Amino acid sequence: MQTEFTFRLPLGYQDGAGQVHREGSMRLATAIDEIAPLGDARVRANEAYLSVLLLARVVTRLGSLPTVTTEVIEGLFSADVAFLQALYRQINLTGGSVVEAVCPHCGQTFEALLASSEP
C-alpha cells in the first residue's frame, strides 16, 4: 500500500532567501492528524485554520526546507493551498492510487494519480 505521494506545486513556496520550493511529498493522514487540530485555539477561533494545521501535519517534505510548519503553509499562494487540499482529498478520501505513465508526445515517464472507481 502506498502511503506517501510526491507532488509539484503550481507556484511554489518562496522562502526568506528568495528560493522557490515546489517539489514535495504528502503522506496519508491518520485519525490523530484529523482529530488533534480540533483542540487548537486557532481552529476554535477560525474553522478555516483547520486546513493549515492538517496540511502542516501531512506534507512531509517541500523542496529543501528542513521542516514544513504552519508558517510555511500560511505562506503558500492560495493556488498552492487549493492544490494541496485537492491532493489531500484525492489520496485520503477517494482511495486514489499512483501509476506510472508515459507522455505520448515526448515519451517522458511520470507518476499519475488515479481516482478510485468505487463510489
DSSP 119: -
Mean pLDDT in the chain? Answer: 89
- SS3 for 13-43, per residue? EECCCCCEEEEEEEECCCHHHHHHHHHCHHH
Question: How crowded is residue 116: how many other Cβ atoms within 10 Å of its Cβ?
Answer: 11
In this predicted model, what pLDDT tens digit does every residue of 33-76 receive, in sequence order? 999 999 999 999 999 999 999 999 999 999 999 999 999 999 99
Strand partners, 109: 102
